């Protein structure tokens, strides 16, 4: 155990002292007694917590701290390195998956970490307003859909009774639970990680100014920085839109009522996932796409998804440019949106705008640090997550990397390794992507068109799901598997899947791609019979065989 007397300046009332005690005494092995009258703190520490990290925790609340004597206790980090004045300090802007992945890995390497978060709650987009609540809502909508639209003739179909308020409450409870378990509780058990609330901006390449309440601010100096500020919904410049109570994905997910008629502007992942969920929960849905559905993917994907969604009752207007949006307030009910397009007026009681996301970098004063961004505001990073300034790293949706939470977490981990002396690159050549509609869309690697732009000669095969035994057994044969291979060698280059369990199938394709397998090698692997993933094997077999002429589970 070691002890230290601290001089704490800046306290304005006894509650300040109580707040410092509450923050530090919850840390394992740490005990502090603070006197407001004397502006002093008596600190006792058992274990490996460093003095520097505790001082940072107090200063993070806006106080100034100094030691009464010059004797510095020597503690050891988990790696056995001495901690003290030369301990690496990592400042992380953000508190989502990239931020926490980086922070935890940096602590493993002996660094101390300061997290800066401007929102009242931590955890970032995925757990709070993105992946987690959307998948809960999508699953609930799937159950409702099966009640009235399942394919089995011996089970009576019935219209589901939907209580959206109860569904939303259950959804939020699970979000709160996961945020607590995966972020808040972890923060409490990491004495080397300090959280500071406020808006961060760079003063210079080694200093952040964190603006806080009541005009107060804190300056944070660090050796390394990670920018992990995520992204926000992009708003298209549609005349009249800004003055209306439109929804982004966050408001749509939090809604406790169901629209009678939801108009959706957008045609990619978020737009299609939420449009189908609301449709299945009972709303009428009209979707407006500027091009075709899933325009950036292989054309067959958008064609198949439009066929499926229209069969479920969704109205889809492709090649539709929205010209203006108006909103009429209602006296005794919700108002009405009027969307003007070349096809005429589209009227609905709610409007969801899901046209992509933009990086949260505008308020960071990146020019003061010399950090370069692209035309969208995304921070340009190399495969080691370094920005244009060698000691400043970035990860997640605020960068030019793909906007997936697992990419953000992997990037955060690798950034920590690199900023603490290691060497770790992020290889995205076999990155899976999944859209959680029904059927799901899952891809990895190159499409046929992308391979052609790289002057790679390809051979491509597509297997419709009516050739997959499990799909036949499920009476769910909408969808396909496409394999793209190099023509000369047969090496697998990419896979596109549209299938009810496409997200569960795609990792097999990822591993095959990572292993540089040929389609012949893939066709020769053992796949369990009556699984959807067997569709990948069957598609590989079509390069040399007619699978319609094979018996069940033919090897």
51 contacts 86 by C-beta, under 8 angstroms: no
Q: Of these residues, 27, 63, 246, 314, which one is catalytic?
A: 63
Query: pLDDT at residue 542 above 50?
Result: yes
Q: What is the pLDDT of residue 67?
A: 86
The total number of residues shown for the chain amounts to: 555
pLDDT beyond 90 at 2: no
Please check whether the domain covering 86-234+357-428 is classified as CATH 3.40.190.10.
no
Q: Is the pLDDT of residue 78 over 60?
A: no
Catalytic residue among 36, 40, 131, 327: 131
**Would residue 294 show up in a list of annotated catalytic residues for this protein?**
no
**Assigned token pair, 136:** 């809960």
- What are the tens digits of pLDDT across the range 218-260? 999 999 999 999 999 999 999 999 999 999 999 999 999 999 9
Dihedral class, residue 98 (left if φ above 0, else alpha if ψ from -120 to 50, else beta): alpha
**DSSP three-state, residue 333:** coil
User: Residue 230 in contact with residue 396, Cβ under 8 Å?
Assistant: yes
* Interval 374-406: pLDDT, tens: 999 999 999 999 999 999 999 999 999 999 999
Q: What pLDDT digit, counting tens, does each position of 442-463 carry?
A: 999 999 999 999 999 999 999 9
Mean pLDDT of the residues in the chain? 93
Cis geometry, peptide bond prior to residue 439 (ω within 30 degrees of 0)? yes
pLDDT band at 368 (very low <50, low <70, confident <90, very high): very high
CA dist., res. 463 & res. 480, Å (int):
5
Is residue 102 part of the annotated active site? The answer reads no
Q: Is 131 a catalytic residue?
A: yes
Find the catalytic residue in 11, 294, 505, 532. 11
323-365: pLDDT as tens digits: 999 999 976 667 899 999 988 999 999 999 999 999 999 999 9
CATH 3.50.50.60 location in the chain? 86-234+357-428, 241-355
Q: What whole-number percentage of the chain has pLDDT above 70? A: 95
Active site residue 16: yes
539 annotated active-site: no
pLDDT value, residue 174: 98
Can you give the pLDDT at residue 372? Answer: 97
Q: Are 134 and 72 in contact (CB under 8 A)?
A: no
- Domain 241-355 adopts which CATH fold? FAD/NAD(P)-binding domain (3.50.50)
Global confidence as pTM: 0.84
Q: Give the tokens for residue 91.
A: 């400042």
pLDDT of 251 reads 98
Tell whether the model's pLDDT for residue 71 goes beyond 60.
no
Q: How confident is the model at residue 86 (pLDDT cuts 50, 70, 90)?
A: confident
Nearest one of 363, 394, 405 to 124, comparing CA atoms? 405
List the catalytic residue out of 40, 235, 327, 553.
553
Query: Which pLDDT does position 474 carry in this prediction?
Result: 98
Q: Which of 102, 126, 294, 314 is catalytic?
A: 126
**What's residue 84's pLDDT?**
45
For CATH 3.30.70.100, list the domain ranges present in the chain: 1-72
Q: Give the pLDDT confidence score for residue 15 in this predicted structure.
A: 75
Tokens of 222: 């660090």
pLDDT one-digit tens code per residue, 275-320: 999 999 999 999 999 999 999 999 999 999 999 999 999 999 999 9
Residues 406 and 420: their CA atoms lie apart, in Å, by: 22
Specify whether domain 1-72 bears CATH 2.60.40.10: no
| CATH architecture entry for 433-549 | 2-Layer Sandwich (3.30)
Task: Tell me the pLDDT tens digit for each residue of 22-54.
Answer: 888 888 778 898 887 778 888 888 766 788 888
Q: Which backbone phi and psi does 292 adopt, to 5 degrees?
A: -110, 170
Mean pLDDT value across residues 424-446: 98
> What confidence tens digit (pLDDT) does each residue in 474-514 have?
999 999 999 999 999 999 999 999 999 999 999 999 999 99
């Amino acid at each position: 155990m070691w002890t230290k007397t601290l001089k704490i300046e800046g306290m304005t009332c006894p509650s300040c002292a109580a707040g410092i005690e509450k923050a530090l005494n919850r840390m394992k092995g740490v005990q502090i007694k603070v006197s407001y009258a004397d502006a002093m703190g008596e600190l006792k520490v058992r274990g490996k917590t460093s003095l520097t990290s505790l001082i940072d925790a107090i200063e993070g609340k806006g106080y100034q701290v100094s030691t009464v004597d010059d004797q510095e206790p020597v503690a050891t980090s988990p790696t056995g390195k001495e901690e003290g004045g030369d301990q690496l300090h990592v400042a992380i802007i953000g508190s989502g998956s990239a931020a926490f992945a980086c922070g935890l890995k940096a602590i493993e390497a002996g660094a101390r970490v300061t997290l800066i978060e401007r929102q009242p709650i931590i955890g970032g987009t995925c757990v709070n307003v993105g992946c987690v609540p959307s998948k809960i809502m999508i699953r609930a909508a799937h159950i409702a859909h099966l009640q009235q639209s399942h394919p089995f003739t011996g089970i009576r179909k019935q219209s589901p009774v939907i209580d959206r308020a109860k569904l939303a409450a259950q959804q939020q409870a699970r979000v709160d639970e996961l945020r607590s378990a995966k972020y808040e509780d972890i923060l409490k058990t990491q004495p080397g990680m300090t959280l500071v609330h406020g808006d961060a901006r760079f003063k210079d390449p080694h200093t952040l100014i964190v603006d806080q309440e009541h005009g107060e601010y804190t300056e944070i100096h660090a050796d390394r920085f990670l920018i992990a500020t995520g992204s926000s919904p992009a708003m298209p410049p549609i005349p009249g839109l800004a003055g209306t109570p439109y929804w982004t994905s966050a408001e749509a997910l939090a809604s406790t009522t169901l629209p009678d008629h939801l108009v959706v502007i957008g045609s990619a992942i978020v737009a299609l996932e939420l449009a189908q969920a609301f449709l299945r929960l009972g709303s009428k849905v009209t979707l407006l796409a500027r091009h075709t559905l899933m325009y950036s993917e292989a054309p067959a994907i958008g064609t198949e998804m439009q066929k499926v969604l229209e069969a479920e009752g969704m109205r889809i207007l492709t090649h539709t440019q929205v010209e203006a949006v108006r909103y009429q307030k209602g006296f005794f009910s919700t108002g009405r949106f009027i969307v003007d397009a070349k096809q005429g007026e589209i009227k609905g009681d709610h409007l969801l705008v899901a046209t992509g996301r933009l990086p949260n970098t505008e308020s960071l004063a990146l020019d003061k640090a010399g950090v370069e961004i692209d035309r969208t505001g995304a921070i340009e990073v190399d495969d080691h997550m370094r920005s244009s300034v060698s000691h400043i790293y970035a990860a997640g949706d605020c960068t030019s990397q793909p906007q997936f939470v697992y990419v953000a977490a992997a990037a955060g981990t690798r950034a920590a390794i690199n900023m603490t002396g290691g060497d770790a690159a992020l290889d995205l050549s076999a990155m899976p992507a999944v859209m959680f509609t029904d059927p799901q869309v899952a891809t990895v690697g190159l499409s046929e068109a992308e391979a052609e732009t790289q002057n790679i000669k390809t051979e491509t095969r597509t297997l419709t799901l009516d050739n997959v035994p499990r799909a036949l057994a499920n009476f769910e044969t909408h969808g396909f598997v496409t394999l793209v291979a190099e023509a000369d060698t047969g090496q697998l280059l990419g896979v596109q899947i549209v299938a009810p369990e496409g997200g569960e199938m795609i990792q097999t394709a990822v591993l095959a791609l990572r292993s540089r397998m040929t389609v012949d090698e893939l066709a020769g692997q053992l796949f369990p019979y009556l699984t959807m993933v067997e569709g990948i094997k069957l598609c590989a077999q079509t390069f040399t065989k007619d699978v319609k002429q094979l018996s069940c589970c033919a090897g």
